[in-house]
Each structure stands twice: as C-alpha cells, then as structure tokens.
Amino acid sequence: MTQDRAPVAAPSATSRRTLLAATAGGLAAAGLAAPAAADTAGRPRKPVREPFGTLADGTRVDRWTLSNGGTRLGVLSYGGIVQSLEVPDRHGRYANVSLGFGGLGDYVALSPYFGALIGRYGNRIAAGRFALDGRTYQLPLNDGDHSLHGGDKGFDKRVWDVEPFTSAAGVGLTLRYVSGDGEMGYPGALTTRVDYTLTAEGDWRIDYAATTSAPTVVNLTSHVYFNLAGEGSGDVYGHELRIAASRYTPVDAGLIPTGELAPVARTPFDFRRAKTIGADLRDDHEQLLYGKGIDHNLVLDKGITRAPERVATVREPSSGRTMSIATTEPGLQFYSGNFLDGSFTGTSGRVYRQGDGFCLETQHFPDSPNQPSFPSTVLRPGDTYRSTTVHSFGTD
C-alpha cells in the first residue's frame, strides 16, 4: 500500500559541512586548539596503524584509525571490529557512539559481537542445519538449539588482512579474509572483501563482496551497538527511530522466523513514523517476550536494490546527533540491546546494562536457507555476493 511506503527523510537540518566550519571557527574564537586540527576541519587523514595486542597464538592485532568529513573511526584487524566511532554533537563536541572494549582480551573472551563484522551468516539458522543442492550441512550450535552469526568462530573472531586506501570516494580500509571450505560447517572456500570508507561528508560506507569455490549461503553484516549520546552514557530508549518497513518477520521462542511476513501496523514494530525506542518496549505483545524487547528483522519496503537506499533514521535529542542508514539489503535486524545485563565494562570503564546500545543490522532475513519464500542467500561459483550499507551522521 502506498501509504505504507513513506520514504525516510534525511535526518539533518544542519549539514555536516556547516557544522564543521562552525566548530572549527568556534574553537578558534575561544582560543582553543582543536585536538587534531586536520580532522576537526573535516579533511581526510591517512589511516594510521598501531598495535592493539597479541592473540594467544602470537598473532598481532592492529588498530587502524582514520578520519574524514568530521567522523573518526578506529578499526581492529581482529573481527574487523569498529572499536570506536566518534562524531560531533550539535556543539561540535565529539563522543564515541559505539559500544566496545578498551583491550583485546575482552573482545576475545566475552564480546557480544561489539562492532564486529559478521559472517558467514548474520543472524540465526534453525538447528544450525540447511540443505543445498541435495546435501545437508550442519553448523555449530552456539545459540541454544541454533547457529548464530556464523558459528562459534565466525568472521568476528578472525584476523583480517587490512590495507589502507585513499580514493576519490574518501579514505578507507580494505579488509580481506578467506574462509576455508568447510569452515564452521559451511561449504565452499569463501573469499571475502569488505571496504570501510569514510567519505568527505563523514559517511561511513561498508561495501561487502564475496566469491565462493562451491555453492554456499552468505549473509554478511556489521554489528555495531550504537548510543548516539555516547557509549556508557545510559540507555538508548529516548533515541527517536524511524524505519521504512511495513512488515516484519515474527519469530518463535528461539528467535527463528515463523516464515510469515506480518504487518507492523498496530504492533510495537511499527517505526514508520518516528517514535522513541522505548515507546512500546514494555508492551505485552508476545513477540517482545521472546527477545526480551525488540530483536526482530524488519522487512524493508524498498526490497533489494542495486544502490543503497535510505531505510532508517535515528535522532538522539540531548546531543542532537543523528544517523541515517542506507542499504542495498532487504532486511534490517533491530536489536534493542536486550541481552546486555551489566556483565560488560565498556571502553570508557562504564558498565553496559540492558538497552544501553542498539543495533541496526542490514541483512537478508534470518534463517533464509530454510525459508524458500524469503529472498535467497545462496551464492554460486562464478557469481559475486555484493552488499552495501552507508551510515550518515549529522546533527539536528
């Protein structure tokens, strides 16, 4: 229905460039030196590499920092993890808006996928099993009876080859990982490339590509937990969220889709008009009990697209920070940080509690390999998997 397909408007009244000019001017007027003049003024800064730690097997892990257009990104070679993502508020003050840890040990020992690249299959596959071309494949069960985010040692726990680049599109990193045939139970050797680009506007763009040596399934995503007021600053329930999705995929108690594409109308899953994340979280809708809040895939009205289209916007009223997401993918997992339970101490030393961050994971739908009516996640030799997601930051 046409009224269900309301486009998601650009979030920002103040353009990023105007804000940056104002910020640099304001600092100069106040007689304060900008912390790093080049990147405060929004100009690209060449990616810089520093050691972040060493894994038990002796492998060195690097942290890369890059900045452009006023956005600063810190990326680990381990898991392609976004360890920090700093953007200014409406007064030009920076905060790290992604949840994470200060040291490698915590990422290895306990991370609930903070900031990580997810593969080979983002989200759940029922009973960790699927059939393809008449053969059945068994994956590790690392989420109760099911397989989650690629199994117990998914792409989030692999060390990626990282190469910096500067191009007309901006500054960035190319991350490469080859997943061997049969790794985590998946067929085919999967050659994976992910480009993180920071554009002149301060957008963070992710381009995923993969090829395979044998028929397989692929669903790559990024698992940043956002808090636009700054990580460790409390819950995200006051963030205003809008998602251009008229349907969602209801799940069973194990968070596996039932196969139905249900209307969001008159449910807590209706974000077609902006509302706060907390608005309906305590509703008695049965689906909210399964995931202790929202942990659901929204069916994006635009479907699969060749170019990324804007599907979601978020605004945090106290800082004025905004983020919009554009993607080529047909689905968006909105996870309201329900399973954070105070057992993690984050980057700045504060404990993360339930709802202290949210994820918006662009993806094909969960359990697609077992759901013939969902868009296919099958990749065959000779074809290239491609997916793009762009995060744009601004202020209100």
The CB-of-146 to ligand BGC minimum distance in angstroms stands at 10
113/344 with CB nearer ligand BGC: 113
20/359 with CB nearer ligand BGC: 359
223 as an active site residue: the answer is: yes
Q: Which of 3, 22, 27 shows the shortest CA–CA distance to 394? A: 22
Scanning 35-43, 185-193, 332-340, 349-357 for contacts with ligand BGC by CB under 6 A, the matching segment is 332-340
The CB-of-221 to ligand BGC minimum distance in angstroms stands at 8
- Contact call for residues 111 and 357 (beta carbons, < 8 A): no
361 as an active site residue: the answer is: yes
Compute how many other C-beta atoms are within 10 angstroms of the C-beta atom of residue 245.
27
The CB-of-335 to ligand BGC minimum distance in angstroms stands at 4
The CB-of-223 to ligand BGC minimum distance in angstroms stands at 6
Scanning 13-21, 185-193, 205-213, 331-339 for contacts with ligand BGC by CB under 6 A, the matching segment is 331-339
87/359 with CB nearer ligand BGC: 359
Residue 114 within binding range of ligand BGC, rule CB under 6 A: no
Count the residues of the shown chain that bind ligand BGC, applying the rule CB under 6 A. 9
Residue 113 within binding range of ligand BGC, rule CB under 6 A: yes
Residue 112 within binding range of ligand BGC, rule CB under 6 A: yes
207/361 with CB nearer ligand BGC: 361
279: burial class by Cβ within 10 Å (0-12, 13-18, 19+)? middle
Q: Which of 220, 202, 186 shows the shortest CA–CA distance to 80? A: 220
The CB-of-246 to ligand BGC minimum distance in angstroms stands at 21
Residue 333 within binding range of ligand BGC, rule CB under 6 A: yes
Q: Determine which residue in the list 240, 295, 329, 356 makes contact with ligand BGC, applying CB under 6 A.
A: 295
Distance CA 97, CA 86 (A): 6
Strands 309-315 and 262-263: unpaired
Residue 339 within binding range of ligand BGC, rule CB under 6 A: yes
Interface residues for ligand BGC in 348-387 (CB under 6 A)?
359, 361
Binding pattern for the stretch 198-217 against ligand BGC, x by CB under 6 A and - elsewhere = --------------------
Compute CA distances 295 → 1, 324, 327, 337, whole Å: 25, 19, 19, 8
Task: Give phi and psi for 311, each to the nearest 5.
Answer: -125, -20
- Contact call for residues 246 and 265 (beta carbons, < 8 A): yes
- Contact call for residues 296 and 267 (beta carbons, < 8 A): no
Residue 163 makes CB contacts below 8 A (sequence gap 6+) with 173, 174, 176
- Catalytic residue, candidates 223, 239, 296, 391: 223
Residue 384 makes CB contacts below 8 A (sequence gap 6+) with 209, 210, 211
DSSP calls for 122-162 = SSEEGGGEEEETTEEEE----BTTBEETTSTT-GGGSBPEE
- Catalytic residue, candidates 316, 361, 364, 391: 361
Write the single-letter amino acid at 367: D
The CB-of-113 to ligand BGC minimum distance in angstroms stands at 5
Active site residue ranges = 223, 361
The contact set with ligand BGC (CB under 6 A) reads 112-113, 255, 295, 333, 335, 339, 359, 361
